Amino acid sequence: MTFATVMACLRVDHDNANLLGVVGDVARRFGARVVGVAARQALGHPVHLHPSGPLEPIEHDSRKFKDLAAEAESEFRAALGDIKRLEWREMLTAGPVHEHVAEQARSADLVVSGIDGDGGLSDRSGQARVGDLLMRLGRPVLAAPPHVSRLALNEALICWKDTREARRAVADALPALKASTRVTAIELVDADDLDRARRGLADLSDWLAVHQVAATSMAEVKDGAEAEQLAAIAKDLSADMVVAGAFGHSRLREWAFGGVTRDFLLRAGCCVLASH
């Protein structure tokens, strides 16, 4: 198993240099083909239809998008010029962008997207947010914070829970885990659940070992907010990649009451490889 095709979700409203740095690291390490996708939802709702000179509003929006997409394509090809197999796709969509990206992702092993804002429930810019992508793609998503321009894979942190989402995330992340210098798996539990957690982590470590991944595992007692504790552990380890399942609860509950996805994964200081 490897990442043979990487899909890069580029924005057309700002610079993509750091994101393309991460994409380049992944593509070069795994010899992957890279598909660049730039999409935005057409601003066709009446509240967006402002006068725009001699052009009709929708036509003006289409021409503006084409100009911005052309700039993004130039940036994409310049940053990844040494990658042998590059493909570019752009679309001004009628519906939500994450639905379009989900269609395109059928040919990808890994989707790389920037973390923008808080990954909230909606995005007035008409472009996809990583939270929407995680819920819809059926592919692992490597989410990169705006300030991160590399994926060195020196230290990988697995945020483990014995859930469907976490099991899928670790399986999806195997190529990156194999390429990592060090891998640590950690589960935060209540004090009376430590024995159960240690048994589960031992099974996880054995499973990883079968797949040529040597991992250190530990169970720790929860101490306050789980998201804050995981963020502190990631910082102490100098993790450059976190692997985790996303949205174990309903997404609406995550935003109403908080959760690890909202409060840690989508605000992490390093790249996050997540699956749902």
Q: Which of 59, 15, 68, 77 is nearest to 40 (CA)?
A: 68
More confident residue, 54 or 91: 91
Query: Strand pairing partners for 215?
Result: 183
Query: How far is residue 107 CA from its own chain's centroid?
Result: 17
Looking at residue 155, its pLDDT comes to: 97
Q: pTM score, two decimals?
A: 0.86
The mean predicted confidence, pLDDT, of the chain is 86
Q: Residue 90 is which amino acid?
A: E
More confident residue, 56 or 275: 275
Q: Which of 111, 149, 129 is nearest to 18 (CA)?
A: 149
Give the separation between CA 123 and CA 88, rounded to whole angstroms: 24
Q: First CA to last CA across the chain, in angstroms?
A: 19
- Report the DSSP pairing between strands 141-144 and 271-275: antiparallel
Cβ-based burial of 26 (10 A; exposed 0-12, middle 13-18, buried ≥19): buried
Contact between residue 241 and residue 269 where contact means Cβ atoms under 8 Å apart: no
Among 66-70, 162-166, 223-227, name the most confident range: 66-70
Tell me the average pLDDT across 77-82: 98
189 has pLDDT over 90: yes
State both tokens at 139: 């592919």
Looking at residue 85, its pLDDT comes to: 97
Query: What strand order describes the sheet that includes 5-10?
Result: 86-93, 33-41, 5-10, 110-114, 141-144, 271-275, 241-245, 155-159, 182-189, 215-221
Set out the domains of the chain in order of their start, with CATH numbers: 5-144 (3.40.50.620), 155-271 (3.40.50.620)
Looking at residue 137, its pLDDT comes to: 84
Give the separation between CA 16 and CA 9, rounded to whole angstroms: 9
State both tokens at 143: 């989410």
Residue 269: pLDDT band with limits 50, 70, 90: confident
More confident residue, 121 or 156: 156
Q: Which of 165, 224, 216, 159 is nearest to 190 (CA)?
A: 224
Contact between residue 42 and residue 58 where contact means Cβ atoms under 8 Å apart: yes
Query: How far is residue 225 CA from its own chain's centroid?
Result: 23
State both tokens at 11: 């924005």
